[in-house]
Structure 1
Amino acid sequence: MEQYTQETYHFDFSNEKIQYFHALIKNKNTSSNKEFAIKAYEYVRDNWPYYPYRFSLINEDWRSSELVTNKSGHCIDKVIILIAILRVEKIPARLGLAKVKNHIAVDQIVEKFGSDVLVPHGYIEIYLDNKWVKATPAFNKELCELLNVKVLEFDGENDSIFQEFDQTGSNAFMEYLEDYGTFNEVPLPYMFQLMQEHYPRITTSGITLGSILNLSKL
């Protein structure tokens, strides 16, 4: 368990930028690990608007201290930020990767790759009250309102990984197709391999590790 509270290359929580956000959340009347985790989840969910159309293949870009300087974030970006903040508080947390089908808000992905499957999708596992719970801080409040989807809340006790339907309850929003497990670092080569397997156009476009995948320029 201790390994999931330690600093790593990507979860570089001793950096002053991460320490700043930790202190900001700590001041929000959090008296327990659960309360802190909930506040941290909400803060990360809503303060980095979800943007899935830019994906860095540069390892250094995946350090939490770099990701917090961005104005928006991919689901994995936001999970990494949240993990680093939680580890400052000595709350065990780790990165999970999955394949999901997203029926809303993936217009460019469908246009460029001909698929509404998102790979890899990032979620977080947090150890609270002697058990691991899953959460997905990807979709900020403003985006959910725009898409007519309920905001994904997290209570620190139950898994909170997707909005299955929109607010009408009739239109499918998101479903998990495959879980690739959890990681204590950002497995960028593996993530890139998954993308190549699911999106052949990445290979034909000459995109490689060390570059930036920007769908708007494909």
Structure 2
Amino acid sequence: MTVVTEQSPDTFEYLLRPTYFLDHDAPEIQEFVDRWVTDRDAPAAKKAVELYYAVRDHVFYEVYDADLSREGLRASSIAVGGQGFCLHKSILYAAAVRAVGIPSRLVYGDVRNHLASDRLKQHIGGDVFFHGLTSVFLDGRWMKATPVFNKLLCRLYGMTPLEFDGTGDSLYHPFDGDEGDSSQAMQFLRMHGEFDDLPYDYVMTNMRAKHPKFVHGDGTVAGGSLAAEAS
């Protein structure tokens, strides 16, 4: 799907509705929002930023033993489980912002990712990952937000946490490295598009095709910890 740029949020009323995966009418999502949003009547950007940091830093980033079933990728299940990787965290964020009146979509692309252990790269087949993030409509325009890598993992892997202030894209993850080489920032190699709900079959087909050693049945490879594998 392509991004449209009409200026009225009313145009995107359908992007506020709950869906099977973005089930923000579920009590688990409402409770998540109430925990982290200080005022539901605050400006949209303030709520978007509060929820960004809630998902980024309070939903643990873990790639191993991740549930990739349809039920496991529902926002309500992710809120209860409290962990996952980019697919899970982008879904939870998209649902949470819809719950406070902010239109959202899910975005998928292929990236070269530097937050990966040697073991994970072996399972992935290199450092190019199928990646998920979120697009939100704020102040009359669409912007991308990536509430994925929490502060602890960024510190362990020598990366600067990716910030979001509600005024521009949170997209190109910096990578400090030993010499602060800006060329080592996360690189987007291909964008697959933006979607109104999780395109489950499309995502799983891509995951199985690109990372066959990583996906096992309805989940990911077991027996690891990305934090523990940081060198």
Q: For residue 155 of structure 1, what is the aligned residue in structure 2?
A: 165
Q: Distance in 1 between matches of 2:157 and 2:13?
A: 39
Deviation, 1:190, is: 0.8
1:179-203: per-residue Cα shift (whole Å, max 9, x none)? 111111111211121123323446x
Residues 109 and 191, structure 2, Cα contact 8 Å, conserved in 1? yes
Deviation, 1:97, is: 0.6
Are 2:138 and 1:131 aligned? no
Deviation, 1:213, is: 2.4
Q: Distance in 2 between matches of 1:174 and 1:185?
A: 25
Decide which of 201, 208, 212 is 1:196's aligned counterpart: 208
The CA RMSD over aligned residues, in Å, is 2.1
**Inter-CA distance 125–12: structure 2 relative to 1 (3 Å threshold):** same
Residues 40 and 100, structure 2, Cα contact 8 Å, conserved in 1? no
Decide which of 80, 95, 100 is 2:91's aligned counterpart: 80
Moved >4 Å (runs of 4+): none
Are 2:223 and 1:212 aligned? no
Q: For residue 99 of structure 1, what is the aligned residue in structure 2?
A: 110
Q: Distance in 2 between matches of 1:21 and 1:102?
A: 29
Q: For residue 117 of structure 1, what is the aligned residue in structure 2?
A: 128
Q: Distance in 2 between matches of 1:66 and 1:141?
A: 23
**Aligned sequence identity (%):** 33
**Inter-CA distance 26–103: structure 2 relative to 1 (3 Å threshold):** closer
1:150-195: per-residue Cα shift (whole Å, max 9, x none)? 1111011111113232164227142111111111111121112112
> What's the secondary structure of 1:56's corresponding residue?
coil
**Inter-CA distance 91–196: structure 2 relative to 1 (3 Å threshold):** same
Q: Distance in 2 between matches of 1:145 and 1:126?
A: 27
**Inter-CA distance 161–54: structure 2 relative to 1 (3 Å threshold):** farther
TM-score by length of 2: 0.83
Moved more, 121-130 or 163-172: 163-172
1:129-161: per-residue Cα shift (whole Å, max 9, x none)? 000000110111111122222111101111111
Matches within 5 A, 1:9-88: 9-27=20-38, 31-88=42-99
Structure 1: runs of 5 or more not aligned: none
Moved more, 183-192 or 38-47: 183-192
Deviation, 1:215, is: 4.7
Aligned residues: 211
